[in-house]
Amino acid sequence: MKTIDIAKEFPRITIITPSYNQGQFIEETICSVLSQNYPNLEYIIIDGGSTDDTVDIIKKYESSISYWVSEPDNGQSHAINKGLAKATGDIIAYLNSDDYYLPETLFKVAEFFLQFPDTDLLHGQCRYVNQKGEKIGEQFGNISTLAEILDLWGVWWQKRQFVQPEVFWSKRITDKIGSFKEELNFVMDYDYWLRIIQAGGIVRSLNTELSCFRFTDSQKSNYSDKVSAELLNLIKPLLWNSYTKISLKKRCLLQGNWLYQAVFLEQVKNSMQAKDSKQKRYTKLLIIILVNPQILFSLDLINRIRTILIKSQD
């Protein structure tokens, strides 16, 4: 990769930090952005009216912050959208107030966009850390097509997903697809990446660690059942829309997986809670299969049926 001539103009990068009562971590977040010493940085902090020491910490650095506000908002997506409305950068990202960038990240991102200016979404590697900042894992996404990002079972949940702080995108694509969906509580970032790809955005990757995602006890991503439910609700219309640009084979497979998880397994859980007899449980599940024949494309269902048949012969 070419080295950028320091005399050339750097593309403007806007970083948005949504925050609420993250006084324990936000100073590290702010310092990770400002210590990049990137010469064309726009840094925006949108705080939701924190009642801890967050505002005092922000004020320590306000001379280096392009814009900040602390006032009640309607949640994380609303805060990000308030930041987007102020953003003037050619490249945009948001960094939550408990995550942080690694050194030289913004220079690496700028260099990549200069070399590949048609890039709409760039992701790198993300380091997982605990509350103390100690490395506990890493992630490198591998998604570039609509079929891949819609495949929760074979791709997204198989450690190929993007991790939010590793992602940067072009102002050009934001102008095309608009803001984050404020009605989403958990998967607004997934939805945004999905819409970028739907809009024909070009996705590229940078094979280096760019950021750290911190696991904390209070973060929303800990609510795995609610996250899964919101993801399933989000992709359902796309899987059953004939205009969604995926192959028929892939569509059938994804519909089968969706039905197995959202309908079949839910019925299994409900039957177990109701203490239905085995015959009643099987009857209910058979009805689901007859009403939703696409479910037979689910390999998980086929394997489950095979296991039941083998056990019945014992």
Mean pLDDT of the chain: 93
What pTM value is reported for the model?
Answer: 0.92
> Is 5 among the domain residues?
no
Output phi, psi for 206, to 5 deg.
-120, 120
**Domain check: are 143 and 101 in the same one?**
yes
**Domain check: are 78 and 188 in the same one?**
yes
**Domain check: are 59 and 183 in the same one?**
yes
> Is 7 among the domain residues?
no
Radius of gyration of the chain (CA): 22
**Domain check: are 192 and 288 in the same one?**
no
Q: What is the domain extent for residue 199?
A: 13-227
More confident site: 2 or 23:
23
> Is 3 among the domain residues?
no
Query: For the chain, how many residues are written?
Result: 314
- Residue in the block written with tokens 């450690």: 159
**Domain check: are 135 and 41 in the same one?**
yes
CATH number at residue 58: 3.90.550.10
Angle at 83 between CA 78 and CA 86, to 5 degrees: 135
**Domain check: are 150 and 284 in the same one?**
no
Q: What is the pLDDT of residues 30-53, one digit of tens each?
A: 999 999 999 999 999 999 999 999
Asked if the model's pLDDT at residue 192 lies above 80, the reply is yes
- Residue in the block written with tokens 């650095």: 61
CA distance 139 to 149: 16
The domain boundary residue, chosen from 173, 195, 227: 227
Q: How far apart are the first and last CA of the chain?
A: 62
- Residue in the block written with tokens 């609610």: 226
**Domain check: are 259 and 206 in the same one?**
no
Asked if the model's pLDDT at residue 314 lies above 60, the reply is no
pLDDT in the model for residue 267: 87
**Domain check: are 78 and 177 in the same one?**
yes
**Domain check: are 202 and 76 in the same one?**
yes
Collect all residues with Cβ–Cβ distance below 8 Å to 291 and sequence separation of at least 6. none
Half-sphere exposure of 245 (CA within 13 A, CB side): 8
More confident site: 124 or 300:
124
> Is 257 among the domain residues?
yes
The domain boundary residue, chosen from 227, 262, 296: 227
CA distance 156 to 171: 25
Query: How many separate domains does the chain show?
Result: 2
pLDDT in the model for residue 97: 97
Q: What is the pLDDT of residues 133-186, one digit of tens each?
A: 999 999 999 999 999 999 999 999 999 999 999 999 999 999 999 999 999 999
Tell me what the mean pLDDT of segment 242-268 comes to: 94
> Is 238 among the domain residues?
no
Q: Going along 191-309, which residue ranges are E strands?
A: 203-214
**Domain check: are 133 and 206 in the same one?**
yes
